[in-house]
Amino acid sequence: MARRFQYLSVGFLLFFVALFGCEQRLNVFSIGFSYHNPDIIYIGTSGGGFYKSIDGGNSFSPQSEGLTNFNIMAIAVNPALSSLVYAGTYGDSVYRSVNSAGSWNISSHGLEDNVGTQAVNEVIFDPQNPERMFIGTNHGVYLTKDGGSAWESMNMGLGNRFVISLSIHPQNSAILFAGTNEGLYITTNGARQWGIASTKTITWAVNTVHIDSSQPDIVYAGTNLGIYKSTDRGLNWEARSEGLETPFVSAIASDRSNSNRVYAGNRDGVYGTENGGKTWALLPNSPTSVLSLVSHPHKGETFLVGAMKGLFKAESHGTQWTKLKVK
């Protein structure tokens, strides 16, 4: 246990504070939208389980039947069949629901050796074939080719590194980025072989990797020491942290209608940029201790923020904030 703890980034220290802290809070670590009906929103919490809204976030109900682990670190909704929902947990494995989170079953064939110690930090779909999925864990990356019935390790070149974040190119699913406790890794052949994405620029913990959906050659990496940006699919990187009061970054999301408008979250709150990350400014009244950021699928001016103080909705590009009630 001590050996694993020594590799944790500041982001995961935030997780342990949220999970084992004395105050009773709803710490929202993961957010997911239904692709076909964005009024359906899923959130995962630390210790509180899984919640669902069917009215755009006006109300939420618990959806944890069948879960034996209530620390939900990651959520993924099948883009072709929105009734299929997946949850990655801390300390257990992957759970699958076939009825829009009405009930859950564990999906751990191929992960058995690590059940009980597995931290599933990211769950993502292959955009060309949603039967193929990848998970990022504290034991590396795993792939399923059958919707989660069986998983196989895909760690050649990556080793047993702690994968904190995982992102896939929306137009070329052979390209994935893995943010680890020891830097940023890339694969160009569907995770069969990994290599270091940046040998000189990013050699520390990468807490989040965000690929711009409208211009997918643009990639952002949020690290313990600031934000880095690539405009050529990860070949070259440059620091983009001017204006950040605290360099540690836990989450990044971009406006789907304007690739120059990007949001980044950390303990200070939510920062925004209007120039592709050249300069950042803290958004007034934004929640602090940000854990997750997700843009609305159809409304570029709207995004959701998961924080250590609950779930928040930002409208009008982060100028209007509403705390959503989750019970």
92 found inside a domain? no
pLDDT for res 7: 40
Count of alpha carbons within 13 angstroms of residue 5, beta-carbon side: 6
Query: Would you say 281 and 272 are in contact if contact means Cβ atoms under 8 Å apart?
Result: yes
64 found inside a domain? no
pLDDT at 17 over 90: no
Rounded percentage of the chain residues whose pLDDT exceeds 90 = 79
105 found inside a domain? no
Residue 317 banded pLDDT, cuts 50, 70, 90: very high
Residue 37 banded pLDDT, cuts 50, 70, 90: very high
pLDDT for res 256: 87
Closest C-alpha among 108, 130, 131 to residue 120: 108
pLDDT for res 327: 76
What's the DSSP call for residue 16? Answer: H
Average pLDDT, the chain: 90
CATH assignment at residue 309 = 2.130.10.10
Per-residue pLDDT tens over the stretch 66-97: 999 999 999 999 999 999 999 999 888 899 99
106 found inside a domain? no
Where are any strands of DSSP class E within 188-309?
Answer: 195-196, 206-211, 219-223, 226-230, 238-239, 251-255, 258-266, 269-273, 281-282, 290-295, 303-307
Q: 163's torsion region: left (phi>0), alpha (psi -120 to 50) or beta?
A: beta
Rounded percentage of the chain residues whose pLDDT exceeds 70 = 90
pLDDT for res 22: 40
What's the DSSP call for residue 113? Answer: G
Per-residue pLDDT tens over the stretch 243-302: 999 999 999 999 988 999 999 999 999 999 999 999 999 999 999 999 999 999 998 899
Residue 216: give the domain boundaries. Answer: 2-26+118-324
65 found inside a domain? no
Per-residue pLDDT tens over the stretch 108-142: 888 867 655 679 999 999 999 999 999 999 999 99
55 found inside a domain? no
Q: 302's torsion region: left (phi>0), alpha (psi -120 to 50) or beta?
A: beta
**First and final CA of the chain: distance in angstroms?**
33
212 found inside a domain? yes
Question: Max Cα separation, the chain?
Answer: 47
Q: Domain count for the chain, please give it.
A: 1
Closest C-alpha among 236, 212, 199, 239 to residue 223: 239
Per-residue pLDDT tens over the stretch 140-169: 999 999 999 999 999 999 988 999 999 999
177 found inside a domain? yes
